[in-house]
Amino acid sequence: MTREMTGAKMIVQALKDQGVDTVFGYPGGAVLPIYDEIFLQNDIRHILVRHEQGAVHAAEGYARSTGKPGVVLVTSGPGATNAVTGLTDALLDSIPLVVLTGQVPTFMIGSDAFQEADTVGITRPCTKHNWLVKDTDRLAPTIHEAFHVATSGRPGPVLVDVPKDVQFATGTYQPPKPTASHYQPAVKGDMEEIVELVAAIETAKRPVFYTGGGVINSGPAASQLLRELVEATGFPITSTLMGLGAYPASGPQWLGMLGMHGLYEANMAMHGCDLMINIGARFDDRITGRIDAFSPKSIKAHIDIDPSSINKVIKADIPIVGDVAHVLEDILKVWKSRGRKVNREGLAKWQGQIDDWRSIKCLSYAPSETTIKPQYALERLEALTKGRDRYITTEVGQHQMWAAQYLGFEDPNRWMTSGGLGTMGYGTPASIGVQVAHPDALVINVAGEASWLMNMQEMGTATQYRLPVKQFILNNERLGMVRQWQELLHGERYSHSWSEALPDFVKLAEAFGAKGILCKDPKDLDDAIMEMLDYDGPVIFDCLVEKHENCFPMIPSGKAHNEMLLGDAETQGVIQSGGAVLV
């Protein structure tokens, strides 16, 4: 079943054989033969972005919302270097991507040729793996291997660099083979450790599930098994930013997000628990706060497919290396076979304690009748879109944290945000990638005006492909999170943290062929949101909000989970010099 064909044709054939239906890309000199092949077929849809960074974020949105790898095609040199931020973003959030880059012909490599860059060198630290293909016969096996590596074990971005002469030359196409790769990460967890964890589950008085993006990456079965385990044990559950939706926000055991801007009850439960079950999270510094005061009295179980995550930051007492779904299945099996035991008495007391923490109502804020509070805007957005076939993307900053706090996610793969890298400019292209994958769904990018401007060129992509993405901009004319830190850490000296000379977003929308909506009065907000939702096309919603609102709760840098700030009154002089050096 092998066939002779050119390298360019081989690439398109390999993508088809890998089940790819969509490619996000931008043409250029070094990929023209591939674009020619794309022109000659109809199976793969190419989405022309406006900037290569946008292509990678769009592919991330596509991947995160479908569970399939995202595919990107860009040219050599600047095409590849523009993709670097997106690759790093995908690496830190474990998003499977296959990025194809053109390269100058093999005989010109190293000569500082036009649009030459050492792409594999530049992207080595920001990909899971990468390849430079110098032989057309190796092209198809390498692309198949690239898909295998991107999606196996801990997912991540991979890159295949293809010189132009390799695209023109003829070689033998090889279809995918299932066992071709030596890279086969283990998915089953160690049974002895699993039994130990089950024993801990049976006796724990103050347990908590702490789940992360690994549950989402493991697939829908993992979320299903997690829900079963949480329901059956009655243990409370919190999640990182990346794991929202694995357990439904409406579920009775849900504590809300944890971490620096997590909910009071979630962080207090983490601090006070006696058994912490980390499922597919990585003890990120946004989660742990001060390491030496992190959950001091708990036994810590850590389930992760990546052995390097274990003991990297926090010592795991019960380390389980494996895929979340496989491990959860075994935990449930063992726990059921041993009689479904839990410490009912202890759990009842623990629940009482959690209810006390909940009663603080840490997400309450001072309402206003004259200005739109950002929290209010998100509460209304949640109320008016709840129950719809909804996907949310975000940019990075205060609005992102508020979105995580005030929007409820009932299912996995519905929430796309830049967690690890914190990439401003992620949300707009990501929303486009999501909408391409789910044409009939409601896709909203919750943004701040500063982040939004970073990749606003992608509105052109939205208009071109009639993607009805809703850009919901909480406009405070500030770099809100930077401003908040300057208030807390730098004596209210607001160095370059305001947005001057902002565009008129309504006119900007019209210039892009989209609809613009401006809203500044809380009384008009519901009608304006409905107008956005009812419009069958892309919308830029300019929501003028309170300019100096701070995001709470907040664990200040260098503090522990039980030292949260709940409101403005508590913020004076809270961050000591030791904490100030932390980000």
Partner 1 sequence: MSALHIKKGASKHSAYNLRPNFSDTQERHTITVLVENEPGVLARVIGLFAGRGYNIDSLTVAEVDHTGHLSRITVVTTGTPQVIEQIKAQLGRIVPVHEVTDLTVAGPFVERELAIVKVVGEGEKRVEALRLADIFRAKVVDSTLSSFIFELTGAPDKIDAFADLMRPLGLTKIARTGVAALLRGE
Enumerate the active-site residues: 52, 114-115, 164, 481
Contact code string over 238-277 relative to partner 1, x by CB under 8 A: ------------------------------------xx--
**413: CB partners within 8 A, 6+ apart:** 64, 65, 66, 67, 216, 220, 245
Near partner 1 by CB under 8 A, which window of 38-46, 82-90, 314-322, 574-582? 314-322
Map the footprint of partner 1 across residues 168-187, applying CB under 8 A: 182-183
Near partner 1 by CB under 8 A, which window of 311-319, 357-365, 368-376, 480-488? 311-319
By CB under 8 A, tell whether 392 contacts partner 1: no
Shortest separation between residue 11's beta carbon and partner 1, angstroms = 20
By CB under 8 A, tell whether 296 contacts partner 1: yes
SS3 157: strand
Helix/strand/coil (H/E/C) assignment for every residue in 312-353: CCCCCCEEEECCHHHHHHHHHHHHHHCCCCCCHHHHHHHHHH
125 phi and psi angles, rounded to 5 deg: -80, -5
By CB under 8 A, tell whether 517 contacts partner 1: no
Helix/strand/coil (H/E/C) assignment for every residue in 220-236: HHHHHHHHHHHHHHCCC
Tell which residue, 234, 232, 212, has the closest CA to residue 222: 212
Pick the binder of partner 1 from 36, 165, 196, 410 (CB under 8 A).
Answer: 196
Shortest separation between residue 147's beta carbon and partner 1, angstroms = 13
By CB under 8 A, tell whether 344 contacts partner 1: no
For residues 318 and 278, what is the distance between their CA atoms, to the nearest angstrom? 10
For residues 382 and 404, what is the distance between their CA atoms, to the nearest angstrom? 11
By CB under 8 A, tell whether 390 contacts partner 1: no
Near partner 1 by CB under 8 A, which window of 30-38, 102-110, 307-315, 384-392? 307-315
Pick the binder of partner 1 from 3, 16, 124, 341 (CB under 8 A).
Answer: 124
**Cβ contact 29:77 at 8 Å:** no
**221: CB partners within 8 A, 6+ apart:** 325
Shortest separation between residue 206's beta carbon and partner 1, angstroms = 9
Near partner 1 by CB under 8 A, which window of 193-201, 377-385, 461-469, 569-577? 193-201
By CB under 8 A, tell whether 58 contacts partner 1: no
By CB under 8 A, tell whether 315 contacts partner 1: yes
Near partner 1 by CB under 8 A, which window of 208-216, 306-314, 551-559, 575-583? 306-314
Q: Which residues of 444-459 are buried (b: 16+ CB within 10 A; e: fewer)?
A: bbbbbbbbbbbbbbbb
Shortest separation between residue 175's beta carbon and partner 1, angstroms = 22
Number of residues interacting with partner 1: please give it, by CB under 8 A.
40
**Cβ contact 381:445 at 8 Å:** no
CB count, 10 Å around CB of 113? Answer: 16
By CB under 8 A, tell whether 2 contacts partner 1: no
Q: Which is nearer to partner 1, 158 or 222 (CB)?
A: 158
**272: CB partners within 8 A, 6+ apart:** 206, 295, 297, 353, 562
Tell which residue, 434, 447, 430, has the closest CA to residue 396: 447
By CB under 8 A, tell whether 149 contacts partner 1: yes
For residues 337 and 267, what is the distance between their CA atoms, to the nearest angstrom? 32
Q: Which is nearer to partner 1, 313 or 489 (CB)?
A: 313
Cis before residue 296, ω within 30 degrees of 0? no
Pick the binder of partner 1 from 108, 129, 195, 477 (CB under 8 A).
Answer: 129
Tell which residue, 580, 563, 485, has the closest CA to residue 292: 563
By CB under 8 A, tell whether 306 contacts partner 1: yes
By CB under 8 A, tell whether 338 contacts partner 1: no
Near partner 1 by CB under 8 A, which window of 212-220, 244-252, 292-300, 384-392? 292-300
Contact positions vs partner 1 (CB under 8 A): 120-121, 124-125, 128-129, 132, 149, 154, 182-183, 196, 199-200, 203-205, 274-275, 288, 291-300, 306-308, 310-312, 314-315, 317-318
